[in-house]
Amino acid sequence: MLIKGVRRMQAERYDIIADVRCVLGEGPVWHPHEQALYWTDIELGRLWRWVEGCEAEVVYEGRKVGGFTVQADGSLLLFRDNGNVVVWQDGHESGTVIDQIPGHANERFNDVCADPMGRVYAGTVCGSGLMGRLIRLDVGGDWHEVLGGVACSNGMDLTLDQKMMYYTDSEMRTIWSYQYDQSHGGLHGRGVFVEVPEGEGVPDGLTVDKSGDVWSARWDGWGVYRYGPDGQMKEKVELPAAQVSSVCFGGQGYKDMFVTSAGGHLDDWAGVNAGAVFRVNTDAVGCEPNMSRICL
């Protein structure tokens, strides 16, 4: 469906930086210290790393990593299956923050997001029809359940003024907006930012750019959708992969948009470049990501 006033960005605006056929490529994060892009293939338990001019490489293989953050010291904080959180540095695990969050045995972390204070918001998903939740990990290592009854926790990010958080529940096909209290990390006052109609895919990972626009990856939607702060769609980036999963900005001046996808194990219906990681040239500039500051 062509929506009046919505710009469509065509194929010549992107290149493929890693045609690695991820089964479930997710959670791209730009590492400013290393000038490198990291992302996870959740189903295969792999963490990938890419630097301009080099081939992408697997730097971790083990338990499933649903999401991760860059710590202020340059290490990575891995949020894994069974509610497990570890520090990963110099090619190995250097400490455990949380062995397992009490809950369902098959609960695993999905998308995560650091705030300006160094806390981390981490969503969980469960199998067998059970509901997930959103937890907050404070800098001292204590955790708190912020939201419960989440069907499929996914992409989240803060507004430029740090007063609101966008939060995606994919199963509900909704990006919510919450009032965010930076002083103690609370969320309240839920509102609807975007509801995605049937037939336009499912909202997945997201990021906020320097102008305040929201870029939402669209699972089964063949691209990334751009929304203004008012929730109106402005643009669609069309990509040759059905299961577009997440998005971030990085590169010099945060002028490159990186997009992960899934379905590399599927037949052609998932797209000729299913499971690849794309770099998209847009007119947008990203924000430098917040770093976590979680202590052991």
Length of the chain: 296
110 is annotated as contributing to ligand binding: yes
Residue 103: predicted pLDDT = 77
204 in catalytic set: yes
Q: What is the pLDDT of residue 268?
A: 81
Question: Is 106 annotated to bind ligand?
Answer: no
User: What is the pLDDT, as a whole number, of residue 10?
Assistant: 55
Average pLDDT, the chain: 94
Catalytic residue of the set 157, 204, 209, 256: 204
- What pLDDT shows up at residue 54? 97
Cα 83 from Cα 162, distance rounded (Å): 27
Range of the domain at 150: 7-281
Domain count, the chain: 1
59 in a structural domain: yes
The neighbouring-strand residues paired with 175 are 168, 194
206, part of any domain: yes
Residue 7, pLDDT score: 57
Residue 285 bridge partners (DSSP): none
Q: Is residue 1 part of a domain?
A: no
Residue 288 lies in a domain: no
Task: With respect to residue 293, please indicate whether it lies within any of the assigned structural domains.
Answer: no
Is 296 inside a domain boundary? no
CATH number at residue 192: 2.120.10.30
Residues of the chain with pLDDT under 70: 1-12
pLDDT at 127: 77
Q: Is 15 among the domain residues? A: yes
pLDDT in the model for residue 1: 38
Check the annotation: does 26 bind a ligand.
yes
- Measured CA to CA, the distance from residue 24 to residue 201 in angstroms comes to 16
Q: How many CB atoms lie within 10 A of CB 170?
A: 24
Report the b/e string of 171-190 with b at 16+ CB within 10 A: ebbbbbbbebeeeebebeee
In a domain, 289, yes or no: no
